[in-house]
Amino acid sequence: MNNSGVLRMAVVGCGYFGEKHADIIGQLSNAELVAVCDKNWEAAKRLAQRTSCKAYEDIEEMLAKEQLDAVSIAVSETFHLDAVRPVAKAGKHILLEKPIARNTEEALEIVRLAEENQIRLMVGHVLKWDGRYQYTAEAIARGDLGEVISMYLKRSSTNGTVKRLHGKISMFHYMGVHDFEAMLTFAEPARPVKAYAQWVGKKNVPYNGKDTVFNTITFDNGIVACIQLCWALPEGSLDFVACAEVVGTKGASYIDVKDQGLSIYREEASGISRAHLLAGILRTCTWQAERRNQSFCEKYPER
Ligand SMILES: NC(=O)c1ccc[n+]([C@@H]2O[C@H](COP(=O)([O-])OP(=O)(O)OC[C@H]3O[C@@H](n4cnc5c(N)ncnc54)[C@H](O)[C@@H]3O)[C@@H](O)[C@H]2O)c1
């Protein structure tokens, strides 16, 4: 970090989501986008030109030539470990896109590399930085909803996503990881003890993808949760749908990502109260990223 507290950052992976990382880092007051890197040289060059930074097609070369504090890794899931290894060994802090890896062995190796090289590693679970999901987690922890009874989380996308990914990754890893992370946060400190899933695959068979999966999860304190995932919506229709409902013994919380709001209903002596939070918790991506960087620095102060 330079004297004015600005993180010098690079983005590895200039595809669909790496572009968003680069754009947002470019807008932050506490970060500077120094370089982008992609093994597809054309993709790296195009993004570097648009964001006015340097382009590389080799991670090692970029690490050798640039003075960096942190690297945002947004390569395809298959290559997370390959991209993390040189960056961690160079001692650069990492923001790694979700899911951390495709399997437990790779995930543990990524954590081991971070510990061995004493770098800070954060996985990009975006709902942790979404005001509505944060506020719900805080309301549950305060006991505003009473004892949690059930949770229902849903995420749907069009089959355009499946076509773009060519069956490279499952819908659990690509979409479901967000809702599973939120569900575990909402249920804390309870832990899941049983899971049952049922899927249907009719439309996305040519892309090696399931259409929908319904998951039922039971926790050790009796909470029951359902996570419904689907990526078979017609292209050009709703595009993206996500919601979360948490029901407790004294209240309930509803998030609808499309309307940008959050409603909390509570049973009180005078009747039912409803708080609908919109502007108060509506956060832009830039705000979230600034908070994330700030929290990243606060949580891990300079050694
Ligand atoms: N947080 C979210 O909401 C969200 C949304 C979409 C994608 N993602 C995540 O972002 C990551 C990237 O997904 P995407 O949809 O942008 O994929 P993508 O296929 O569009 O882009 C990946 C890019 O990485 C490059 N690449 C692969 N291996 C590389 C390597 N070793 N070195 C340099 N470049 C390499 C590829 O050439 C490609 O340009 C995935 O982990 C995905 O799950 C997160």
Check pLDDT > 80 for residue 258.
Answer: no
- For residues 103-128, average pLDDT: 95
What is the rounded distance in angstroms from the CA atom of residue 298 to the CA atom of residue 293? 9
How far, in Å, is the centroid of ligand 1 from the Cα of 179? 20
Check pLDDT > 50 for residue 280.
Answer: no
Binning pLDDT at 50, 70 and 90, where does residue 278 land? low
Task: For domain 131-277, give the CATH number.
Answer: 3.30.360.10
Mutate to test the pocket of ligand 1, among 46, 75, 127, 168 (most ligand atoms within 8 A of CB): 75
Give pLDDT tens digits for 118-137: 999 999 998 988 888 988 99
Check pLDDT > 70 for residue 284.
Answer: no
Atom of ligand 1 nearest to the CA of 19: 16
CATH architecture of 7-125+285-299: 3-Layer(aba) Sandwich (3.40)
How far, in Å, is the centroid of ligand 1 from the Cα of 206? 22
The two three-digit tokens of residue 220, written as one number? 């050790």
Asked whether this chain's domains 7-125+285-299 and 131-277 adopt the same fold, the reply is: no
Longest Cα–Cα distance of the chain, Å, equals 66
Give the residue extent of every domain in the chain: 7-125+285-299, 131-277
What is the pLDDT at residue 144?
A: 93
Query: Nearest C-alpha to atom 40 of ligand 1 is from which residue?
Result: 76
DSSP 182-218: HHHHHHTT--EEEEEEEEE-SSSGGGT--SEEEEEEE
Mutate to test the pocket of ligand 1, among 76, 85, 87, 126 (most ligand atoms within 8 A of CB): 76
Helices (H), the chain: 16-27, 41-51, 59-65, 80-89, 104-116, 131-142, 159-165, 171, 177-187, 285-299
How far, in Å, is the centroid of ligand 1 from the Cα of 130? 21
Cβ–Cβ under 8 Å, residues 201 and 192? no
Binning pLDDT at 50, 70 and 90, where does residue 281 land? very low
Sheet with 7-12: strands ordered across:
54-56, 31-37, 7-12, 70-73, 93-97, 121-124
How far, in Å, is the centroid of ligand 1 from the Cα of 276? 35
DSSP 269-292: TTEEEEEEESTTT---HHHHHHHH
What is the rounded distance in angstroms from the CA atom of residue 122 to the CA atom of residue 244? 24
Residues with CB under 6 A from ligand 1: 12-18, 37-40, 43, 59, 74-77, 79, 82-83, 97-98, 124, 126, 174
How far, in Å, is the centroid of ligand 1 from the Cα of 40? 12
How far, in Å, is the centroid of ligand 1 from the Cα of 224? 33
What is the pLDDT at residue 279?
A: 41
Q: How much is the mean pLDDT over the chain? A: 89
Of 301 and 94, the one with more pLDDT: 94
What is the rounded distance in angstroms from the CA atom of residue 130 to the CA atom of residue 277? 13
